[in-house]
Amino acid sequence: MEITASHPLALPVGVTLDRYIMNRQTAFPYATGELSQLLRDIALAGKIIHREVNRAGLIDLTGGMGIQNVQGESQQKLDMIANIRFCRALKNGGEACAIISEEDEDIIFTGNNQGKYVVAIDPLDGSSNIDVNVSIGTIFSIYRRVTPIGSEPSLADFLQGGRRQVAAGYILYGSSTILVYTTGHSANGFTYDSSLGEFILSHPDIHSPANGQIYSCNDGNVDSYEQGIQNYLTDCRSKQYTARYIGSLVGDFHRNLLKGGIYLYPPTKKNPDGKLRLLYEAFPLAFLAEKAGCLASSGHQSVLDIRPTSLHQRTPLYIGSPVMVEKLVGLLQ
């Protein structure tokens, strides 16, 4: 058989996430291999969630549990499953000594007190989209612990501040599943090839456009936004920008990251401090966004400069193309 240059066999499969992590290990600030293993554990849990999400409608995994999580939001079956899968993967891995999750009120101690890292995670974000086959995601944030290795981890390990993250990223379960992460250098995306069971480097060194024409917010809340934001949105409409909002932060963020745009979740009457959670939504996306050339603001300061004071703290979030974020922030009181 003659293999021409365009034949599928002539094309390389690409760099797998495992190989990429291994190659990059020396670039990590703490290159002992434990952070690499932690990232692999997260990727493994992501593969399992990918499988569960894709067969959710077939094996009765859609719908609610009939209970609420710590945020007072109704908990979906897949929320619970994703939480269990991620916590188990992190506990079994051994590198994480503690976890915080959107689904649990308190710190989850893994029992691995020799572990150097703590992980903040939103196991399944956008869960109201599960039953209707719209994109959902996982968001993760990793810190090197500040408490002594061998001791019991504490709140202080999680309240270090966004700039102390050593790695952060998300997995988007969309038209394809993609894992995007940074260890503080570049932001890279790996698309999941389910036939190989591997994440393959598909979006190396992501650089987001400096400006964009997409704005993403919940239009139903606009009346309770402060005047500066309403003025910004009026300006977007007058320029015939495109409104896109699916109510899944990971999906909305990812689209705007690649295409150029801004995601807004301002304070509202219902959520005067904003709706999104600082430690496992805003911090990781802000960390990643900055590495890809975007900005993330709470309206008054860079998200990464917010001093965290509690595990489930909320923040307003304006994140995306720097020209758009700067313009919006300039209009705020």
Which residues lie near ligand AFP (CB under 6 A)? Answer: 73, 125-128, 218, 247-249, 252, 275-276
**What is the smallest separation between the CB atom of 21 and ligand AFP, expressed in angstroms?**
27
Is residue 283 a contact partner of residue 133, using CB atoms and an 8 Å limit?
no
Count H helices, E strands: the chain? 8, 17
Query: Would you say 70 or 146 has its CB closer to ligand AFP?
Result: 70
Cα–Cα distance, 201 to 209 (Å, whole number): 20
Query: Would you say 79 or 198 has its CB closer to ligand AFP?
Result: 79
- Measured in degrees and rounded to the nearest 5, phi and psi for residue 116 equal -90, -10
**What is the smallest separation between the CB atom of 258 and ligand AFP, expressed in angstroms?**
17
Query: Would you say 251 or 308 has its CB closer to ligand AFP?
Result: 251
Nearest by Cα to 321 from 299, 288, 296 = 296
**What is the smallest separation between the CB atom of 103 and ligand AFP, expressed in angstroms?**
10
**What is the smallest separation between the CB atom of 75 and ligand AFP, expressed in angstroms?**
9
Q: What is the dihedral of CA 221, 292, 51, 101, to 10 degrees?
A: -60
Query: Would you say 137 or 189 has its CB closer to ligand AFP?
Result: 137
Nearest by Cα to 175 from 243, 255, 242 = 255
Query: Would you say 205 or 273 has its CB closer to ligand AFP?
Result: 273
Chain position carrying tokens 């295409």: 259
Is residue 13 a contact partner of residue 200, using CB atoms and an 8 Å limit?
yes
**What is the smallest separation between the CB atom of 142 and ligand AFP, expressed in angstroms?**
20
